[in-house]
Amino acid sequence: MERWDQLNKFFNRTGTILTFGLNALNGRKLVDEDLYVGDWDPTNAHDLINYTLSKGYKVESWELGNELSAEGVSGRVEGTQYGKDMIVLKKIINKLYKEYNKTSEKPKLMAPGGFFNAKWFADMFKASGPGVVDVATHHNYHLGAGVDPTLFYKMQDPYTLSTIAQTYADVEQTIQNYGPWASAWVGESGGAYNSGGRIVSHAFVNGFCALLFHRLMGTGVLKTSHNGSPFLRAYTHCSRDKAGVTMLLINLSNTTGVDIKVASDMNLYPPRLAKYAEMSEMVTGEREEYHLTPMNGDLKSPFMLLNGVPLNITKDGEIPEMYPFIADASAPMHIAPSSIAFIKLKELKAPACDADS
């Protein structure tokens, strides 16, 4: 358990909220190319959970298996059998956490951590029964394999990107019908599987974009719509620091820029929210703009510009300063072709963000 001890020291120091995946193939027999049958052997999982509790380590959720659902990846288990095994794991968790007087810290039980198939997920829920599976986790790599020669074009095609919406709708409907006590989580997602595509996945959209998302976008999500091109993707969150809202705008077109004006809900507030009505037509005040573009307009470039300035790690290995462009919030904004923009509107007051705070 030395390695487990070392990992938990790291988790504690970094404030990690931990989900840990357990081996779901112990005890099973391989009967053809990829199908495993028989009951799961929980001995190893029991010992690990018991040791974890004895050391006082915090695990937010335990997940059984990885990519064994539906057709699986290098292996699969039928949904009905998986559901029976989840009952076994749930009993172990309940028993051990009760023995250690830590029922108030009892973790979530998650499964299957694999690709979605409506019948497979339904079979798992029907076999496990109410209250066993707390979170149904599924993986999304809807752009396909990283070696696909059309990957570069797929990632810029709004119609291809939007196909994932149907998967989310199907997951939601399946859980509603067969496991309404459970939540749906995306356990893995990355566009293209097998570590993405060479000279595609690691280019342009890199860590700086993720860093800005983390700094600017809060947890509250607002419904956002526009009447423009489908090549414009628009998302709005409550700002991370609770001052106004922040928009994420992605222009997938490599030829056409987009000019945008922002307006709020246009007098859709009920009387109890009348205090927001005066702000419902146009946004006022100042806004911060962070425009991310690829070096020399080349989407395959690994280098990114912020408001025209190259972003590079400093000589000391530190993250560079990331300054916004300040503009009048009521003025139109321009989103260049093949670019990403974060727009922070400090003065736009959204009722949902007040509730979120």
Query: Any idea which residues carry the catalytic annotation?
Result: 67, 188
The single residue listed with the structure tokens 């990331």 is 322
Q: Is 114 within 8 Å of 72 (Cβ atoms)?
A: yes
Phi/psi for 206 (5° steps) reads -120, -155
Which helix (H) or strand (E) segment holds residue 177: the answer is helix 164-178
* DSSP-assigned beta bridge partners for residue 247: 236, 343
Q: How far apart are CA 144 and CA 150, in angstroms?
A: 10
Q: How far apart are CA 241 and CA 356, in angstroms?
A: 11
Compute the residue count for the chain.
357
* C-alpha torsion 165→166→170→171, nearest 10: -30
Query: What tokens appear for 85 in the block?
Result: 């095994």
Q: Is 19 within 8 Å of 188 (Cβ atoms)?
A: no
Query: What tokens appear for 183 in the block?
Result: 């939540």
Which helix (H) or strand (E) segment holds residue 138: the answer is strand 135-140
The single residue listed with the structure tokens 């093949």 is 338
